[in-house]
């Protein structure tokens, strides 16, 4: 991807480097049935995340990933270069929606856009940056929208 | 806990059984350093989630759980009886904040309250229920607030 940052620190962005409308694209992650079931066994043990046969009779009509699994994979893609912020990707809170579920075989990537920048009230060395991150599958279908408030350091 | 539902189906609640102000309390889950690091290795590989020494020099001044790990453990506690809803705990979206991080040694539980009930626009057999779930550690400190919109079936 164009803005992957394998070099790490060199490419990391401070508050001063960000502007509204700035966009980033992550790498990709392929989801398979075993990953879905392993996450669900540990964190979301419901039939529509665990058992393809049982899932057919549910609202989802087949096996789907936990929404929290989609969120966790999105975070991995942001941390690995999808959002190259100095000091790391640190969220204070977020709004999240799952317009459709992630299914086995989906390959996900994340497209992010800076929506707002403001100084931190409590910490003058930092700002709060609102970022909208859309997670899409390989067909371009939207599986998650995350609007997160991130804590980002100023360049000192 | 008073409203754990080991019996499963018998205690599961339909839309018709819920009312605004209704409260639920989950069981408890103890978080240790190995769990924190295992989640972080897979989904949120940042120094403040992985390495206690490196974490001392960060905003968190010590090792903390990924917010998404706190969210995933909260989901487990809701699914295991913290929110005994017929058909399972199915979220369409949520607002989430992390007022303070989860740290190794914290034991978490979840207190939930029904905020709103409304019919589903798209599916007459279901309703949308807004639930606020507070995740607290063993000191009673708030580590996460989740306000989620859940899809809940009517009793047929």
Among the residue ranges A52-56, A93-97, A141-145, B21-25, the one predicted with the least confidence is: A52-56
Whether residue B45 and residue A73 make contact (CB cut-off 8 A), yes or no, is no
Picking from A46, A73, A98, the nearest residue to B43 by CB comes out as A73
B30 — pLDDT class (breaks 50, 70, 90): very high
Mean pLDDT, all residues of chain B: 92
In the predicted model, what is the mean pLDDT of residues A38-54?
95
Tokens in use for A2?
């164009």
Q: How far is CA B114 from CA A34, A64, B5, B133, B146, in A?
A: 34, 26, 18, 9, 12
Q: Which residues of chain B form beta strands (DSSP E)?
A: 23-30, 91-97, 107-119, 126-136, 142-153
> Which tens digits make up the pLDDT trace of B79-89?
999 999 998 99
Q: What do you get for the CA distance between the two ends of chain B, in Å?
A: 29
Residue A8 pLDDT greater than 80, yes or no: no
Residues 132-151 on A with a CB inside 8 Å of B are 151
- Which sign does the torsion angle of CA A59, A62, A64, A66 carry? positive
Mean pLDDT, all residues of chain A: 92
Among residues B69, B68, B51, which one has the least CA distance to residue B60? B51
User: Does residue B95 sit at the A interface (CB-CB below 8 Å)?
Assistant: yes
| SS3 label, residue A69 | helix
Chain A positions in Cβ-Cβ contact with residue B72 (cut-off 8 Å): 39, 42-44, 66, 68, 72
Please count the other Cβ atoms lying within 10 Å of the Cβ belonging to residue A48.
Answer: 25
User: Does residue A61 sit at the B interface (CB-CB below 8 Å)?
Assistant: no
Among the residue ranges A22-26, B51-55, B96-100, B141-145, the one predicted with the least confidence is: B51-55
In chain A, what percentage of residues exceed pLDDT 70?
94
Query: CA A4, CA A36: separation in Å to the nearest integer?
Result: 26
At B41 the pLDDT is 98
At A89 the pLDDT is 95
At A44 the pLDDT is 97
Whether residue A93 and residue B98 make contact (CB cut-off 8 A), yes or no, is yes
B9 — pLDDT class (breaks 50, 70, 90): very low
Q: How far is CA A72 from CA A16, A75, B142, in A?
A: 28, 5, 21
Contact by Cβ (8 Å): B137, B45: no
Among residues A64, A69, A1, which one has the least CA distance to residue A39? A69
ipTM metric: 0.92
User: Does residue A45 sit at the B interface (CB-CB below 8 Å)?
Assistant: yes
pTM attached to this predicted model: 0.92
Residue A1 pLDDT greater than 70, yes or no: no
Shortest distance, CA A104 to any CA of chain B (angstroms): 18
> Which tens digits make up the pLDDT trace of A54-70?
999 888 999 999 999 99
């Amino acid at each position: 991807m164009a803005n992957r940052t394998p070099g790490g620190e060199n490419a990391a962005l401070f508050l001063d480097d960000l502007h509204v409308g700035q966009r980033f694209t992550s790498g990709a992650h392929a989801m398979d049935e075993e990953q879905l079931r392993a996450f669900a066994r540990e964190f979301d043990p419901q039939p529509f995340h665990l058992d393809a046969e049982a899932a057919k009779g549910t609202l989802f009509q087949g096996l789907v990933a936990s929404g929290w699994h989609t969120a966790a994979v999105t975070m991995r893609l942001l941390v690995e270069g999808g959002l190259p912020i100095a000091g790391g990707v640190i969220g204070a809170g977020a709004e999240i929606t799952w317009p459709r579920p992630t299914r086995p075989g989906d390959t996900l990537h994340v497209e992010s856009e800076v929506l707002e920048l403001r100084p931190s009230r409590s910490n003058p060395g930092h700002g709060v940056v609102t970022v909208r991150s859309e997670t899409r599958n390989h067909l371009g279908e939207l599986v998650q929208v995350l609007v997160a408030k991130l804590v980002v350091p100023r360049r000192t």
